[in-house]
């Protein structure tokens, strides 16, 4: 993966830049030392590592604005970072860029139960929001698997999802307001505790913009009353087709479960070996269907789902009788990634979304690819919304296997796009899928997105090297005329 050519002049100015930042921030909030910088060298996509030029750790909006003004005036690149749990390299530092760590923004500012809102700083973890509102019987719905560590600021940047998106939406569907600092230090407030933007929905487009448009300094989220009941079904099937049919029939019956998770046989076995959740080892596919809401409704719908599952050939459906059993059903699914980590030295987690009915075909083709390249693959699948997480098993110590795994992963994502799906459902483009953007978007589509970037950051200083395969200068985009399929400016460097 090529990153933009580092600006050697900026690197040579490291000491001067650190000194300038120490005039803006307390001395201990600027990290210049090589070893200390190394702590920030990667995020959740650990295949890529790069210590930043210098780390700045502001603790107020005014400090963020001052740092950005300085960087803007000095044409310095800036990489914002929350907890650094991105799986797509969204927070991967740049050798010539200031890493803006938002960890000090760690306070819950207001819990406003009557308006069903919580105002938090961006460095608060996803789970801490739910914990802060739990005494009132409320929670924050999006629940990415990294929720104990990942921050809400990072969730906004990545539009993070979780296992309950079909019913409760992603981060973007659960935000009420943002405060954000633009690269030139201007502070804008979007939304509030009321619903919908009065003008353009800038909050909507900032959500999921991967740190390329601005730095979020305050987040107002919508919180929900905890459902009074949660129950789950554990359903084994003789084929992925049957399991997929069951999912379709549940939805066609007018039922929107809180979660519908599917695992294929390799994932079932890995999970069962690891946590003994009681999954049926003979099943080719496993479904966990969870319903939540008022008790009477959950009981009624659970019975209907069980009937549908039986009609689709599930041999021994099990319904959770109590909270402990529900947790047990989930234990294997939640341990699926580490479980796969036990059976393979390394694994590579993919994140495409497909129209659900294409699942059998996609799985079959994936198996053929797996055989062809000699790498095993296990699948966990947010079946309700079509978000597929193939886990490619490989050994980084074997020469060439990482490259084979990455090529296999790219082929899977191309396949997702080919059947009408997308490159990423919740992990983001980052550096990981940057060069695949052309599989889904043509040059005109990408140019429109880049022009939007220019409206926020005309110098391209915020998080460059992420999301876009080719970085155009805004002035060039301004006069660019593209005809379909023909790449403009072939002389520009691609990275």
Q: How far is CA 260 from CA 55, 169, 432, 473, in A?
A: 41, 14, 27, 44
Our CB check for another protein shows the closer of 77 and 453 to be 453
In the complex, least distance from residue 402 CB atom to another protein, rounded to whole angstroms: 24
Residue positions counted in the chain? 495
| Number of residues in contact with another protein under rule CB under 8 A | 97
Strand ranges (E), 213-322? 215-222, 224-225, 229-237, 259-264, 285-293, 318-319
Q: Tell me, residue by residue from 250 to 289, as one string, x for binding to another protein by CB under 8 A and - for no binding.
A: -xx-xxx---------------------------------
Helix 359-373 × helix 401-418 angle, to 10°: 160
Residue from 76, 67, 57, 56 nearest 10 by CA: 76
Dist. CA 437–CA 495, nearest whole Å: 13
135 part of the interface to another protein, by CB under 8 A: no
Q: Tell me, residue by residue from 296 to 325, as one string, x for binding to another protein by CB under 8 A and - for no binding.
A: xx--xx------------------------
Residue selected from 22, 38, 193, 473 as contacting another protein according to rule CB under 8 A: 193
Q: How far is CA 12 from CA 6, 16, 44, 386, in A?
A: 11, 9, 29, 48
Among the listed ranges 47-55, 160-168, 260-268, 363-371, the one in contact with another protein (CB under 8 A) is 160-168
208 part of the interface to another protein, by CB under 8 A: yes
Our CB check for another protein shows the closer of 200 and 491 to be 200
Inter-residue contact 198 to 208 (CB < 8 Å): no
The residue with tokens 């307390």 is: 26
Dist. CA 144–CA 133, nearest whole Å: 18
Within 404-433, the residues that bind another protein by CB under 8 A are: 420-429, 433
486 part of the interface to another protein, by CB under 8 A: no
Contacts 24+ apart (CB under 8 A), 193-202: 193/112, 193/115, 193/117, 193/119, 193/220
Inter-residue contact 465 to 79 (CB < 8 Å): no
Residue selected from 225, 281, 371, 398 as contacting another protein according to rule CB under 8 A: 225
Within 349-408, the residues that bind another protein by CB under 8 A are: 353-357, 382, 384-387
473 part of the interface to another protein, by CB under 8 A: no
478 part of the interface to another protein, by CB under 8 A: yes
In the complex, least distance from residue 400 CB atom to another protein, rounded to whole angstroms: 28
Our CB check for another protein shows the closer of 37 and 433 to be 433
Residue from 433, 438, 437, 440 nearest 406 by CA: 433
Among the listed ranges 183-191, 308-316, 325-333, 401-409, the one in contact with another protein (CB under 8 A) is 183-191
Within 438-467, the residues that bind another protein by CB under 8 A are: 440-441, 444-449, 451-456, 467
69 part of the interface to another protein, by CB under 8 A: no
476 part of the interface to another protein, by CB under 8 A: no
Residue selected from 9, 200, 324, 399 as contacting another protein according to rule CB under 8 A: 200
113 part of the interface to another protein, by CB under 8 A: yes
115 part of the interface to another protein, by CB under 8 A: yes
Dist. CA 7–CA 407, nearest whole Å: 30
Our CB check for another protein shows the closer of 31 and 461 to be 461
Inter-residue contact 391 to 272 (CB < 8 Å): no
Residue selected from 205, 238, 343, 410 as contacting another protein according to rule CB under 8 A: 205
């Amino acid at each position: 993966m090529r990153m933009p050519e580092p600006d050697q002049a900026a690197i040579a100015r490291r000491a001067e830049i650190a000194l300038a930042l120490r005039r803006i921030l307390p001395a201990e909030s600027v990290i210049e030392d090589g070893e200390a910088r190394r702590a920030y060298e990667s995020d959740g996509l650990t295949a890529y590592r790069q210590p930043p030029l210098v780390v700045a750790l502001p603790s107020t909006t005014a400090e963020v604005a001052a740092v950005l003004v300085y960087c803007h005036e000095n044409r310095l690149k800036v990489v914002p970072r929350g907890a650094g749990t991105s799986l797509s390299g969204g927070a991967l530092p740049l050798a010539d860029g200031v890493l803006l760590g938002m960890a000090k923004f760690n306070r819950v500012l207001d819990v406003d139960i009557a308006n069903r809102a919580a105002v938090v700083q961006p460095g608060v973890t996803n789970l801490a929001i739910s914990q802060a509102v739990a005494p009132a019987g409320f929670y924050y719905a999006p629940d990415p698997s990294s929720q104990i560590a990942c921050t809400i600021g990072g969730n906004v940047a990545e539009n993070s999802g979780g296992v309950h998106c079909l019913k409760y939406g992603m981060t973007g569907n659960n935000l009420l307001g943002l405060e954000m600092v633009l690269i030139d230090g201007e502070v804008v407030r979007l939304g509030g505790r009321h619903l919908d933007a009065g003008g353009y929905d800038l909050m909507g487009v900032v959500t999921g913009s991967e740190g390329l448009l601005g730095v979020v300094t305050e987040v107002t989220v919508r919180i929900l009353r905890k459902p009074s009941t949660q129950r789950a079904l554990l359903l084994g099937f003789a084929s992925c087709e049957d399991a997929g049919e069951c999912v379709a029939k549940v939805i066609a019956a007018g039922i929107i479960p809180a979660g519908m998770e599917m695992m294929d046989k390799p994932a079932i076995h890995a999970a069962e070996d690891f946590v003994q959740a009681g999954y049926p080892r003979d099943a080719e596919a496993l479904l966990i269907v969870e319903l939540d809401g008022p008790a009477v409704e959950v009981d009624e719908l659970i019975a209907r789902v069980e009937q549908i599952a039986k009609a689709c050939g599930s041999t021994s459906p099990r319904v959770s009788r109590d909270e402990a059993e529900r947790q047990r059903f989930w234990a294997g699914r939640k341990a699926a990634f580490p479980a796969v980590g036990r059976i393979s030295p390394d694994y590579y987690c993919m994140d495409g979304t497909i129209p659900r009915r294409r699942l059998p075909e996609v799985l079959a083709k994936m198996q053929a690819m797996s055989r062809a390249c000699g790498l095993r693959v296990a699948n966990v699948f947010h079946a309700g919304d079509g978000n597929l997480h193939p886990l490619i098993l490989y050994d980084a110590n074997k020469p060439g296997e990482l490259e084979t795994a990455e090529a296999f992963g790219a082929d899977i994502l191309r396949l997702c796009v080919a059947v009408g799906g997308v490159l990423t459902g919740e992990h983001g483009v980052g550096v990981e899928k940057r060069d695949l953007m052309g599989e889904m978007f043509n040059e005109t589509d990408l140019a429109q997105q880049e022009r939007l970037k220019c409206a926020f950051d005309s110098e391209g200083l915020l998080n460059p090297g992420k999301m876009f395969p080719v970085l155009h200068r805004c002035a060039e985009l301004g006069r660019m005329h593209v005809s379909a399929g023909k790449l403009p400016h072939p002389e520009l460097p691609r990275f």
